[in-house]
Amino acid sequence: MMASHIVKPDTRNCKRPRELEPQMPDSPQLSSLGKSDSSFSESSGLFYKDESLEKDLNVLKKYMEGTHQKKAVFHKRERLPCIAPLLTTVEEMPQMVSAQVRGQFPEWLSGYLLRIGPGKFEFGKDEYSHWFDGMALLHQFRMEKGTVTYRSKFLQSDTYKANSAHDRIVISEFGTLALPDPCKNVFERFMSKFELPAITDNTNVNYVQYKGDYYVSTETNFMNKVDIKTLEKTEKVDWSKFIAVNGATAHPHYDPDGTAYNMGNSYGPHGSCYNVIQIPPEKVDLGETVHGAQVICSIASAERMKPSYYHSFGMTRNYIIFIEQPLKMNLWKIVTSRIRGKAFSDGISWEPQYNTRFHVVDKHTGQLLPGMYYTKPFVTFHQINAFEDQGCVVIDLCCQDDGRSLEVYQLQNLRKAGEGLDQVYNSVGRSFPRRFVLPLHVSLNDPEGENLSPLSYSSASAVKHADGKIWCAYENLHPEDLEEEGGVEFPQINYGQFSGKKYRFFYGCGFRHLVGDSLIKVDVVNKTLTIWREDGFYPSEPVFVPAPGTREEDGGVILSVVITPDQNENNFLLVLDAKNFEELG
């Protein structure tokens, strides 16, 4: 799993033209599956079939037939190439090395491209089981005046150091249970199963930014602050020391002034809550981290002991959009995982008997809006963008109708070859971009059984039921061509200028393999695709970097680290013109 961030040169002494609107700070995003080295990730109201839904099916049918809800066709593939070499332990390269440049990097492209992903998959004889478990390897590409240098270092987390010192896995990860110390006697090993497990600080998911500082993050309560010039860890930060949460996502959002928003769960005697977190944009004291963070809204989980798993959330200028989906975390299973000899991942399950629900929170007041928005069960890991229009929230997501993909990414599956690999790939749900429209100001007087969306440009519908619930049907944002590309994931936009605003383009990875094998530009207005692909090479998540002085949405370049399992070929940093996807360097 790799994540990336482009760090621009210091422009604090530059004046911004007055006519330009304030822009969002750059947002780090989760990247594509890839080679770890160069290597570069309610109750009954939620049930799918309920009485109110059955009553309104005939009324809804006329809307759903016109909402471009045609189900995507999965194209099975055969004779997939083996990618096992992409999933092996690599050596760090702490000394900066110069890269050979072919073509021409834009002279204005100056700064650091930061990436993170798993780079070590065993300690001694102990091996990790899941792709999410590998030890975090930090990557740095420095670009200046057309030149590129590279270095990498393993994150010196407490987990990494403890595993190294014992030459075995001593702290459990998402899909790997740490075994008891073999030096203990039988009784001691048995009793150790009843000890509270240490929480990993192997933050290998994403770079995030708070108050001008950079952290590497995962979904536990820990983050590690990093010096982006040296790639050295400088501090370990525990969210629970500042606010009452048991973790936070690795995908925060940012307002133009630098205020950050995130979400994290909390677990207590009254059940589970999803919490909206606000972090101030600036420091009061030089040495502070996320001091001043506060929970501005808590949303009760539909099931006390089975909250939904989520990886990201949506944000507009005024609202946070949280998606409560039927990918469930069984807290009892997770708490007892060590006793049962199971990894944390054993407590996560896809339960499509439940519907998916959208929750909308006012960022300024912390108020949870009363609207009850439901749709068919789906799972989403990454939102594309969200914006407000004509009294509605429009949210675009990469969606899967089958939420079992987390189970598939066991390393033993990814390392298969031949028919075994084909079977794994053909069992995985594909991800496709969809649009939902949530009307915000629904009243008791609004008619039942009619589409409440006023947006003429979107076929997505929102129909009010007799019980006040609003049933949402999506609009597909893609042409059928995307089905042949295996869908799209890891979406990126021109975040600085278009996050929370009406937009036209996003970029992502196509998945004709278990890892991304193409880069795709999607025009959500015309529903067209532009594709870059080179057989035998696997690009990471695209990173959009705007060209200086332009206000065009696609005026800039796409950066992606491209890797290959072929030891006779080289990995490379790719630069594409974001307009036409032509290679620049």
SS3 state at 14: coil
H-helix segments, 303-410 = 331-335, 337-340, 405-408
CB 503 within 8 A of CB 477: no
Under DSSP, the state recorded for 46 is G
User: For residues 315 and 68, what is the distance between their CA atoms, to the nearest angstrom?
Assistant: 25
Under DSSP, the state recorded for 60 is H
Q: Where are the beta strands (DSSP E) in 451-550?
A: 461-464, 470-473, 475-476, 488-492, 505-510, 518-523, 528-532, 538-539, 543-546
The answer for residues whose C-beta is within 8 angstroms of residue 49's C-beta and 6 or more apart is: none
Per-residue pLDDT at 6: 47
Spell out the domain ranges in the chain.
3-41+43-577
Per-residue pLDDT at 574: 97
User: For residues 135 and 1, what is the distance between their CA atoms, to the nearest angstrom?
Assistant: 10
CB 518 within 8 A of CB 506: no
187's tokens: 């009784």
Give the closest residue to 429 by CA, choosing from 471, 385, 377, 493: 377
Per-residue pLDDT at 182: 56
Per-residue pLDDT at 51: 41
User: For residues 197 and 275, what is the distance between their CA atoms, to the nearest angstrom?
Assistant: 24
pLDDT tens across 49-107, in order?
Answer: 344 444 444 444 444 444 456 666 667 889 999 999 999 999 999 999 999 999 988 99
Per-residue pLDDT at 183: 59
pLDDT tens across 357-381, in order?
Answer: 999 999 999 999 999 999 999 999 9
Neighbours of 228 (CB within 10 A): 17
Q: Is the dihedral of CA 266, 267, 269, 275 positive or negative?
A: positive
Query: Has 311 been labeled as part of a binding site?
Result: yes
Q: Which residues pair with 122 in a beta bridge?
A: 127
Per-residue pLDDT at 72: 64
Per-residue pLDDT at 75: 74
H-helix segments, 311-448 = 331-335, 337-340, 405-408, 411-414, 418-426
Ranges of the chain with pLDDT below 70: 1-74, 181-196
SS3 state at 123: strand
Query: Has 382 been labeled as part of a binding site?
Result: yes
Give the closest residue to 30 by CA, choosing from 132, 105, 99, 128: 132
Query: Has 253 been labeled as part of a binding site?
Result: no
